Homo-oligomer: A and B are copies of this chain.
Amino acid sequence: MPVEYSSVLVRFGEIGIKSKQTRRRMAKMLADRIRTALKEHEVPFEKVRNEYGRIFIETASAEEAAQIASRVFGVVSTSPVVETSADTKDILDAGEQLALSKFKKGRSFAVEGRRFGDHDYSSQQIRGLLGERLLEGHPELELTVDLSNPEQSIYLEVRAERTYIFTETIKGVGGMPTGTQGKVVCTISTGLDSPIAAFKIMKRGTIPVFVYYDNSPHSNEKCAERAIGQAQLLANYIYDYDVKLYIVPHWPDLEEAIDKGPVKMTCIFCKRNMMKMAREIAILEKADAIVTGEIIGEQASQTTANLRVLDEAVSDFPILRPLAGDDKVDIEHLAQEIGTYEFAKDGIACCDLAPKYPALAAQVEDAVCAEEMMDASILQTELKNARVIVLRKGSQ
């Protein structure tokens, strides 16, 4: 018999350690984001309410709602729950019914849980009673008790007048609710790293503005399409806010750099130009920072010496590099988890201009000096020719 869940218990993490005022504000924002996510995915619900430092979604589609809510930034975990009163009889009846529908035969089990408020039983007593009911009332299940390392568990969360009972906890995406931070300009290529960098910073509550620099004709024609696909996948994690993607034609400034600069510094000029245009977009969009996917030492342009030269291109916005200290293998795992790996795995080349012997320790002076001979107005023209795609529409 399928169990009748009545709601979803949503747990949030870091919000809980904020001051009371901040905590309330952020928990309310998280509830708003969850409401929008449920509506967008057409999961019917009665109410999303903040209570006891948790969020509860009242819904008959609890399993589906628990999945959707687990992918909302700020959510640490979710559980579809059976809700009942705090009376012993109700708890035991509901607990028995849930266990019967979820527990597997012949396995070890435990009743776990917590109790808050005044009741005529202790937490240990109510857990013991439910355990007894399952053992003695259902010999056909051949259950054994194992409190330290059970194969299956049932949890009781007893509050003043209500009890929430569940067996399943879905890991959430974590982070902080979207909108608790400002806007950030996320530069994305078609590779593996930059979408993950964007994801990590988005997860901390920021609102992304994506920028993709289109190298055509010096890139595979599928590249722009793939960049749009990646940006859309990321944007789908953002609820209630507009998300835009700028596609900036990049070949004219690259051509200028190749014509007038030393070839070994091509990637440096390319990236400095990307930074400069990201800065313009940050000003236009009132963003606070620029995000890139650089990992120290991963590519020749990403030595600490070269990062210094790249950084110098923008002095009035922080350049956030959330992957600077990560290993490639960790990034691959995260890309598989969130789905961007699918776009990058074919390894199509989106730039064929990288020099054979790139500069490993460029100097700021050399870059600035060479750039003085290049036509800076090209960057402005490129920005004017940028295509802007609205990936998401939000109410805020």
**Residues of chain A having any CB pair with chain B under 8 Å:** 13-14, 174-176, 180-184, 197, 199-201, 203-206, 288-289, 295-298, 303-305, 307-308, 310-312, 315-329, 361, 364
DSSP class of A's interface residues: helix, strand, loop or mixed? loop
With A176-B297, A308-B289, A311-B317 as known contacts, state yes or no: A325 contacts B197, CB within 8 Å. Answer: yes
Chain B residues lying within 8 Å of A182, measured Cβ to Cβ, are 303-305, 361
Which of A176, A182, A320, A364 gathers the greatest number of chain B CB atoms within 10 Å?
A: A320
Distance in Å from the Cβ of A315 to the closest Cβ of chain B?
A: 4
Bound form: Cα–Cα A174–B329 in Å? 9
Bound form: Cα–Cα A13–B311 in Å? 28
Chain B residues lying within 8 Å of A315, measured Cβ to Cβ, are 312, 315-316
Distance in Å from the Cβ of A366 to the closest Cβ of chain B?
A: 15
Bound form: Cα–Cα A106–B58 in Å? 51
Task: Give the residue of B296, B308, B320 whose beta carbon is less than 8 angstroms from that of A317.
Answer: B308
Q: Are B200 and A297 in contact (CB under 8 A)?
A: no
Task: Give the residue of B206, B318, B322 whose beta carbon is less than 8 angstroms from that of A311.
Answer: B318
With A176-B297, A304-B206 as known contacts, state yes or no: A326 contacts B322, CB within 8 Å. Answer: yes
Q: Are A307 and B324 in contact (CB under 8 A)?
A: no
Q: Are A200 and B307 in contact (CB under 8 A)?
A: no
Q: Are B312 and A204 in contact (CB under 8 A)?
A: no
Distance in Å from the Cβ of A351 to the closest Cβ of chain B?
A: 17
Q: Are B317 and A324 in contact (CB under 8 A)?
A: no
CB-based closest 9 A-B pairs:
A200-B325, A322-B325, A288-B304, A311-B318, A204-B296, A315-B315, A182-B304, A322-B324, A174-B327
Bound form: Cα–Cα A325–B316 in Å? 21
With A311-B317, A328-B13 as known contacts, state yes or no: A204 contacts B297, CB within 8 Å. Answer: yes
Nearest B-chain residue to A177, judged by Cβ: B297
Nearest B-chain residue to A207, judged by Cβ: B304
Bound form: Cα–Cα A303–B205 in Å? 10
Chain B residues lying within 8 Å of A311, measured Cβ to Cβ, are 317-318
Task: Give the residue of B201, B308, B310, B312 whose beta carbon is less than 8 angstroms from that of A324.
Answer: B201
Nearest B-chain residue to A182, judged by Cβ: B304
Distance in Å from the Cβ of A382 to the closest Cβ of chain B?
A: 25
Bound form: Cα–Cα A197–B326 in Å? 10
Q: Are A329 and B13 in contact (CB under 8 A)?
A: yes
Bound form: Cα–Cα A23–B305 in Å? 19
Chain B residues lying within 8 Å of A322, measured Cβ to Cβ, are 321-326
Nearest B-chain residue to A199, judged by Cβ: B325
29 residue pairs bridging A and B, Cβ less than 8 Å apart: A13-B329, A174-B329, A175-B327, A176-B296, A176-B297, A181-B296, A182-B305, A183-B304, A184-B304, A200-B325, A201-B324, A201-B325, A203-B327, A204-B295, A204-B297, A205-B296, A206-B304, A288-B305, A289-B308, A308-B317, A311-B317, A312-B315, A315-B315, A320-B321, A321-B322, A322-B322, A322-B324, A322-B325, A323-B325
Chain B residues lying within 8 Å of A180, measured Cβ to Cβ, are 297
Distance in Å from the Cβ of A296 to the closest Cβ of chain B?
A: 4
Bound form: Cα–Cα A293–B204 in Å? 15
Q: Are B296 and A206 in contact (CB under 8 A)?
A: yes
Distance in Å from the Cβ of A312 to the closest Cβ of chain B?
A: 6
